[in-house]
Homo-oligomer: A and B are copies of this chain.
Amino acid sequence: MSTEILTYDKVNITGGFWREKQELIRKTTIWNVYRRFSDTGRFSAFKMDWKEGMPNKPHYFWDSDVAKWLESVAYLTKKQREPELEAIVDEVVDDIERAQTEDGYFNIFFQLFMPEKRFTIRGWHELYCAGHLIEAAIAYDEATGKRKFLDLMLKYAALIKRIFMDEQSAAFDSPGHEEIELALVKLYDYTKDRQWLDLALFFINKRGLKEKLPEGDDYTRGTNVQDHLPVREQFTAEGHAVRACYLYCAMADLALRENDEGLRNACEKIFSDIVNSKMYITGAVGSTHVAEAFEDAYRLPNDTAYGETCAALSLALFARRMERIEPDSRYADTVERVIYNGFLAGLSLDGKSFFYENAQEIDLENRAIVRSSLHNNKNMHFPITQRIEVFGCSCCPPNVTRFISSIGDFIYNYTDDTIYVNQYMESEAALGDVKLVQTTNYPFDGKVSLKLSGGAKKLALRVPGWCRVWTLVKNGAPVAAEVVKGYALIDAADGDEIVLDMRIAPRFVRADSRVRADRGLEAICLGPFVMCLEGVDNGGSLASVVLRRNLTVGFDDSLGLPCVYADAARETTDSLYSDTVVSTPFTAKLIPYFAFANRGETDMKIWNVVR
């Protein structure tokens, strides 16, 4: 079943949790990223006047860092004009125009340092940069009506199509870092020009055929870059998690638009592989720093977790595309798991700093032991414990700004007769011939009011996978509803108000027993939030903390977030192995995982011993 493609611009987030985040991006984050990118030469690099000996030598992925920032500005300005930000975008676009070659090429690194090598080095993110610039250009045209950026990128896309597809004269035939495929689908959606869909299909179809094997660079072969098999024969999530999910996004996009059964089948199997065996409870994916990759099924170590912010974000993008193919709530459940946990942890509460890797546990004593050990444990990599403002590889910060600025995109899809309500966010939406006003304090509260106007529709309200008790009220009267694939179905006509009330109570969650890292442990969740203990609230080291089963919900005023209190104890044995245990009771406090590491370096733990 295919549904209308609804973009963020048809939905306005009007209040609540995500409105606050969007305002934070607009007021603080977008500017902070701009300053850090300016400091590090990323904006001036577009002037193409860098010379040897100058600081801030441009890197081969800088085009994409700035492109995502430009795209973020487009999403912000679409909702409320931002002349200062627009002026910066316009200047970058002018720089691109000046630098672009006669035939349409644009890439800072290759043009500055090795113009003769363009389209010959698969590993150096050339098409990845192009893809992000294309996405930014579409968004900016859509938001402002200023067409120049898009025209420049259409010229570049035409060059890429000629070299890769028409002439097949490039040294490789599919990108080393996927991204352009999904950008080309967007370009097709926006322009309705079929050639871009064909080019996306071309890249997808060449992948894994190994017709042009890159030389020398082992990293851009095989599973690392999802090049081990033709894409329709790939049924498991493999390799670099961001590349992988961007590829799967494009595969899902093409499955929908081309009604391609092979792609749909591969996407479904890969999605199941991820959510059934390769995803942290927070929605973080890519568990190892080695190649930033998906590891073996069920291998989800907490202390050394990698979980790149961009990877979580890209899983949400993939899930969003899958729910357009089939309205099954497991897709929106995954989006929800990601956006309230593994993705959102990437941004500090003050909106100024970021995680690239997202710790799933911090055990400072264990780290100190490993670091001071004489045993050379070369394979041990721990994620950083504190967010920072800019990274050498700074893909995540502008990805966070563009994602949150366009998060309204995730709320709905609709067909001629049904509106699927996938996410609960206070908002107004124009959905075809009807308007839907959503009023809610979700996820702090489980009550959601939906007011329909302008026509009659079937509403399909997602009942979250975590929700055990819920009620549905229509115009003040309780109603029963059939639940199909996780969606409660109810008819609504002009003027109807539907209220879904989901009971949010803390619950103990276990992992599949094949997840060895979580065996015998339990996590506490509250609505969509995965909760965690932090040392700062719980007396320092958390290694010896044991929870009891008595939980109460509270609110942390300083964080502005719900919290959970648990009867707990520190339990220590009198020797390495013993049945003699000393137990010191205390009340443990848990906060939403995404808010960890906002109060200094301290232990953090999601998975608990519960005795």
Contacts and interface: CB of A to CB of B under 8 A. Distances in A.
A465 B465 CA distance: 49
Contacts of A379: 379
Contacts of A228: 374
Contact of A514 (B365, B373, B575): B365
A193 interface: no
A571 interface: yes
A577 B543 contact: no
A374 to B, nearest CB: 5
A298 B366 contact: yes
Contacts of A296: 369-370, 373, 375, 377
A376 B290 CA distance: 10
- Copies of this chain, whole number: 2
A511 B573 contact: yes
Interface in A263-321: 275-277, 279, 281, 293-299, 303
Nearest to A275: B576
A578 B366 contact: no
A85 interface: no
A295 B374 CA distance: 9
Interface string A500-517: 000000011111111110
A571 B519 CA distance: 11
- Of listed A275, A379, A578, residue having the most chain B CB within 10 A: A578
A374 B576 contact: no
Contacts of A238: 374-375
B223 A509 contact: no
A195 interface: no
B523 A520 contact: no
A521 interface: yes
A498 to B, nearest CB: 27
A577 B377 contact: no
Contacts of A239: 375
20 contacts: A275-B575, A293-B375, A296-B369, A296-B373, A296-B375, A299-B370, A363-B516, A369-B514, A508-B579, A509-B577, A510-B573, A510-B577, A510-B578, A510-B579, A510-B581, A511-B576, A513-B544, A513-B571, A519-B521, A519-B543
A578 B514 contact: no
A338 to B, nearest CB: 13
A111 interface: no
A536 interface: no
Interface of A: 223, 228, 236, 238-239, 275-277, 279, 281, 293-299, 303, 363, 365-366, 369-370, 373-377, 379, 465-466, 507-516, 519-521, 523, 525, 543-544, 571-573, 575-579, 581, 608-610
Nearest to A507: B579
B294 A375 contact: yes
A521 B523 contact: no
Given A519-B520, A520-B519, A376 B509 contact: no
Contacts of A513: 543-544, 571-573
Contacts of A510: 571, 573, 577-579, 581
Given A519-B521, A520-B609, A512 B281 contact: no
A576 B223 contact: no
B298 A369 contact: yes
Nearest to A577: B281
B465 A575 contact: yes
B295 A375 contact: yes
Given A298-B366, A519-B521, A609-B519, A512 B573 contact: yes
Contact of A236 (B279, B366, B374, B514): B374
Given A510-B577, A513-B572, 5 more contacts: A223-B376, A299-B369, A369-B514, A508-B579, A511-B576
Given A365-B514, A543-B514, A523 B577 contact: yes
Contacts of A577: 281, 509-512, 523
- Of listed A365, A379, A509, A571, residue having the most chain B CB within 10 A: A509
Nearest to A301: B516
Nearest to A468: B579
Nearest to A282: B577
A375 B297 CA distance: 9
A417 B486 CA distance: 80
Q: Which 7 pairs from chain A and chain B are nearest by CB? A: A520-B520, A520-B609, A296-B373, A513-B544, A513-B543, A281-B577, A507-B579
A487 B239 CA distance: 58
A299 B238 CA distance: 28
Contacts of A303: 516
A549 to B, nearest CB: 11
Contacts of A519: 520-521, 543, 609
Nearest to A376: B223
B514 A366 contact: yes
Contacts of A511: 573, 576-577
